[in-house]
Amino acid sequence: MMSQNSPLPQLSAQEIRVLGSLMEKSRTTPDLYPLSLVSLTTACNQKSSRDPVVSYSQATVNSTVDVLRRKDLLTRVLGDGRVPKFRHNLAVKYPLLPAEIAVLSLLFLRGPLTVGEIRTLSHRLYDFEDLAEVAATLDKLSQSEPPYVQSIGKAPGQKEPRYAHLFAPVDLTVNANSHRDALSSTADDEHPESLKTRLAQMEARLASVESALLAAGLWSPPTEEMNESDQDGD
């Protein structure tokens, strides 16, 4: 385990994405972890839960894996059929708890986030009891030696400060709008139907009910005069 006072390594965007993907999949798909090169490449390139979305080749991921192995942040193991697989070493190299790994995983894969965003997005990685527990975890990560995260202030339109990891230089110009968009798209992706599809289905069901009531003589559509009368009453 590395000394707690040693400075954090500064990682490239590719190294952050590979390491973050392994950290995420170790929690969300433990039966498939460690990951083969093919699975790791797919995890890096997935379109949900990632900001930005990338399109790495297997060669890029493989070379990044080699760099992380030299930095002792990743281990190569042999899986079934002697296929090489990979797992992260972050919790071995640093004194990090599961809640802290979950927070860093989100910051690695999505960029700076607020306390509320971390609580919303972390449900598959770690079951935070409330916002206070997320805030306490961030405080611990920011006050350790060396610090793992730092507050970078509020983004335009946001009420909460964002937090960024310190395994790479912090870009204070990151636009938080992309994270809000990611929250919305992820919420849709994680449901079996998109909101638009569900709305269309609800409208179709309403039309079917109206037709049945009309056929039974139990309902009639409002006339234009009634609509105008309602508007005058308003």
Long-range CB contact pairs, 149-158, < 8 A, 24+:
149/103, 149/104, 149/107, 152/112, 155/112, 158/114
What is the C-alpha to C-alpha distance for residues 14 and 184, in angstroms, rounded to an integer?
25
> For residues 129 and 136, is the Cβ–Cβ distance under 8 A?
no
Residue 220 belongs to some domain of the structure? no
Convert the pLDDT of each residue in 89-118 to its tens digit: 999 999 999 999 999 999 999 999 999 999
Judge whether residue 132 has pLDDT over 70.
yes
Domain membership flag for residue 222 = no
pLDDT of residue 226: 46
Residue 42 lies in a domain: yes
List the one residue out of 14, 33, 50, 15 whose CA is nearest residue 86.
Answer: 33
User: Is residue 177 pLDDT above 90, yes or no?
Assistant: no
Residue 203 — pLDDT band, cuts 50, 70, 90?
low
Q: Which of 117-121, 206-210, 214-218 has the highest mean pLDDT?
A: 117-121
Does pTM surpass 0.75? no
**Which pLDDT score is estimated for 2?**
45
18 within a domain of the structure (yes/no):
yes
For residue 95, tell me if it sits in a domain.
yes
Provide the CA 154 distance to its chain's centre, in angstroms. 19
Residue 7 lies in a domain: no
Per-residue pLDDT tens over the stretch 10-63: 999 999 999 999 999 999 999 999 999 999 999 999 999 999 999 999 999 999
Number of domains comprising the chain: 1
In this structure, are residues 108 and 167 in contact, taking their beta carbons and an 8 Å threshold? Answer: yes
Domain residues for the domain of 28 are: 13-187
Confidence of residue 178 (pLDDT cuts 50, 70, 90): very low
Q: What string of H, E and C letters represents the secondary structure of 53-69?
A: CCCCCHHHHHHHHHHHH
Domain-located, residue 173: yes
| CATH number, domain with residue 180 | 1.10.10.10
C-alpha span between 64 and 17 (Å, rounded): 10
Give residue-wise pLDDT tens across range 214-229: 666 665 666 544 444 4
Q: How confident is the model at residue 81 (pLDDT cuts 50, 70, 90)?
A: confident
pLDDT digits (tens, 9 = 90+) for 144-165: 999 999 999 888 888 899 999 9
Domain assignment present for 145: yes
